[in-house]
Amino acid sequence: MVASILALYLSYLVLLRRSSKLREVRGPASPSWIFGNMLQLTLSQHYGEYEFEWLKKYGSVYRIKGFFGEDRLMVSDTAALQYMLNREHFVLGPSFGNAARLTYNNRNAFITERDHKRVRTPLNAGFTAAAVRSYIPIFERVAQILTEKFDDITSHSVGDISPLFGQATLAAVTEAVLGLTLNDLGDEYISTNLKLITMTANQSATQLLVDALLGWIPVPIRDLASRIPVEPFKFIHRAKYMSNEIGMKVIQNSKNAKNRGLEVNSGLYGDLVGNTGPTFSERDIADQTSLLLLAGQDTTANTLTFGFIELARNVEFQEQLRAEIHASLGSGDAKAYDSMPLLNAFIKEALRMYPAVAVSDRLAAEDAVLPLSEPIITSQGTQITEIPILKGQVVYLGTAQYQRSESRWGPDANEFNPSRWLKEGGALNGEGVSSYANLLTFFGGSRICLGWRFALLEMQIFICELVGKFHFSLPDEDHLNARCRYAFTLQPVLPDGKKAAFLQIKRVV
Ligand code: HEM
């Protein structure tokens, strides 16, 4: 009885979120009323095994089923993506919104909607081209530590590179933002951080369903529900509390140093203290800590991991890249890194094939008309160039699909081929989104990834250091190849689902 009432209520809510034009948009059949196409989208064995087929069959906009018969729209059309990147029209969707509200401190740059400019503007100062260049010594120091860890692997010949990149990217962002080392963060924070990342990398059908049900509940009630003292919630609140404490401590120490005329902590937080005021307080700075440490870590680490797996698959390209690195060694400034064609083609290709945020849900904040740059044919056989959608409609930004479209990137769009970036006229055919390299990997508009320049320079330095010194090849059968799985970000996992990526590593110089 209760189940029928709940099903009726959910169907009523679903009907409220449906425009008639949307129902005419073609898409795959749904294997289940409860899960729709969601398990195919998010829990497939290999990321994209359904999605990329749907892209080929239905084009750059198609309809999929969400939970409980709800219609959702998957979008990789350029004009529609540009429109959606504007978060005045589209706010965070139920899945990303819930996860972000649960994981990060309140009022951080990622969650805030109307308040975004106030919070984001002061943070931009730490991520301009000049600011990021000033982090070169940090990236180089961390790269040296990575070399020592890779040297340890060479004594066993095979090792898991994924946690090493995770620690390295955490070390770099911690020093740049907080002026602290990993040791300063403390063992409890480090192990909590690792557990949190492992937790988010392991989604299950039940979690997805709980997430979907929570999506129908108003935010304040949802926030209250997250206070229920069950182990996962207690753990996440503890993690948030710890990052907040760390942030507040850095702020307090920087303030004390400033008041006593002593040298202030060198990180971004040290610079922000003293520039606070009625619009951006010390509390606001501290609220960004969990976001900055997490957003700046796994995204970059996983991109590097996938990139190194591709290098191990393509030894010929790896050797050419190593030769370019050896020929450029010693220059060591940001301009020199930018003028290395193979290095940058390799990074762009890793970002194209393995965009950390491969798909992200958004919710229409108001009724809207989605413009299309490529017309689509509806199930009624008519051609349409725009799709009206109602407030509350869930729409996906299909980053990975945009970056695998054959009409845009050529018939080899599904292959890892850095040389596409070296072609005269560029890698892209036709119109693209106006972001870094016409990729959607960092999204765009006022919400473009805060740390995109940081991630690029960090990757350039780590790659030059490691590829310059080590040779990478695929592991033997005992250490099976990693596959790509989606869990909020793209993760390298072994066949048993454990996050890891083994490679054979040899010293070359
Ligand atoms: C390869 C590495 C990275 C990728 C692919 C990446 C990707 C993204 C994407 C797609 C978004 C937008 C998410 C959305 O609106 O739903 C985002 C936002 C963000 N990223 Fe990154 N990111 C990377 C590295 C970093 C680094 C290194 C940092 C910090 C040091 C960082 C900090 C942030 C922050 C603070 C936001 C929220 C920005 C806002 O809403 O105003 N990211 N990132």
Least confident of 10-14, 89-93, 363-367: 10-14
| Dihedral-angle region of residue 94 (phi above 0 means left; psi in -120 to 50 means alpha; beta otherwise) | alpha
Q: What's CA 53's distance to the chain center, in Å?
A: 23
Q: Please report the atom of ligand 1 found closest to the CA of residue 92.
A: 16
The C-alpha angle with vertex 53 and arms to 49 and 55, in degrees rounded to 5, equals 120
Q: Tell me how far apart the alpha carbons of residues 342 and 346 are, in angstroms, rounded to a whole number.
A: 6
- Residue 66: Cβ within 10 Å count: 25
Task: For the chain, give the number of residues.
Answer: 509
Q: Tell me how far apart the alpha carbons of residues 66 and 73 are, in angstroms, rounded to a whole number.
A: 9
Q: Please report the atom of ligand 1 found closest to the CA of residue 458.
A: 27
Q: What's CA 423's distance to the chain center, in Å?
A: 27
Q: Please report the atom of ligand 1 found closest to the CA of residue 302.
A: 1
Q: Tell me how far apart the alpha carbons of residues 192 and 363 are, in angstroms, rounded to a whole number.
A: 31
Minimal CA–CA distance to 135: which of 463, 458, 449?
458
Whether 197 lines ligand 1, by a CB cut-off of 6 Å, is no
Q: Which amino acid is at 134?
A: S
Residue 484 annotated in ligand binding:
no
- C-alpha distances (whole Å) from 33 to each of 68, 178, 191, 471 are 5, 47, 39, 49
Report pLDDT digits (tens) over 119-157.
999 999 999 999 999 999 999 999 999 999 999 999 888
Q: Does 300 or 16 have the greater pLDDT score?
A: 300
Q: Tell me how far apart the alpha carbons of residues 125 and 191 are, in angstroms, rounded to a whole number.
A: 30
Q: Which fold has domain 104-359+442-507?
A: Cytochrome p450 (1.10.630)
Contacts of 171 (CB under 8 A, 6+ apart): 142, 145, 181, 182
Contacts of 317 (CB under 8 A, 6+ apart): 311, 342, 346, 418
- The pLDDT score that the predictor gives to residue 8 is 55
Q: Tell me how far apart the alpha carbons of residues 362 and 396 are, in angstroms, rounded to a whole number.
A: 6
3-state SS, residue 266: coil
- Whole-number Å distance, alpha carbon 297 to ligand 1 midpoint, is 10
- The pLDDT score that the predictor gives to residue 482 is 81
* Confidence grade of residue 379 (pLDDT, cut at 50, 70, 90): very high
Whether 251 lines ligand 1, by a CB cut-off of 6 Å, is no
Q: Please report the atom of ligand 1 found closest to the CA of residue 123.
A: 35
Domain spans of the chain, in order of start: 1-94+360-397, 104-359+442-507
- Whole-number Å distance, alpha carbon 344 to ligand 1 midpoint, is 19
Report pLDDT digits (tens) over 31-75.
999 999 999 998 888 889 999 999 999 999 999 999 999 999 999
* Confidence grade of residue 421 (pLDDT, cut at 50, 70, 90): very high
Q: Which amino acid is at 125?
A: A
- The pLDDT score that the predictor gives to residue 6 is 60
Q: What is the DSSP string of 304-328?
A: HHHHHHHHHH-HHHHHHHHHHHHHH
Closest CA to ligand 1's atom 42? 451
Percent of the chain with pLDDT over 90: 65
* Confidence grade of residue 198 (pLDDT, cut at 50, 70, 90): confident
- Whole-number Å distance, alpha carbon 1 to ligand 1 midpoint, is 45
158 in Cβ contact with 475 (< 8 Å): yes
* Confidence grade of residue 215 (pLDDT, cut at 50, 70, 90): confident
Whether 300 lines ligand 1, by a CB cut-off of 6 Å, is yes
Average of per-residue pLDDT across 355-376: 94
Q: What's CA 66's distance to the chain center, in Å?
A: 22
What token pair was written down for 222?
């949802």
- Whole-number Å distance, alpha carbon 447 to ligand 1 midpoint, is 9
Average pLDDT score, the chain = 90
- The pLDDT score that the predictor gives to residue 103 is 85
- The pLDDT score that the predictor gives to residue 3 is 60
Whether 120 lines ligand 1, by a CB cut-off of 6 Å, is yes
Helix extents (H) in 268-371: 268-272, 282-286, 289-295, 298-313, 315-328, 334-338, 341-353
Report pLDDT digits (tens) over 312-345.
999 999 999 999 999 997 656 777 899 999 999 9
- Residue 242: Cβ within 10 Å count: 18
42 in Cβ contact with 72 (< 8 Å): no
- The pLDDT score that the predictor gives to residue 291 is 94
- The pLDDT score that the predictor gives to residue 20 is 66
What token pair was written down for 379?
């199930």
- The pLDDT score that the predictor gives to residue 457 is 97
| Dihedral-angle region of residue 261 (phi above 0 means left; psi in -120 to 50 means alpha; beta otherwise) | left
309 in Cβ contact with 492 (< 8 Å): yes
Instruction: Indicate if the pLDDT at residue 209 is higher than 90.
Output: no
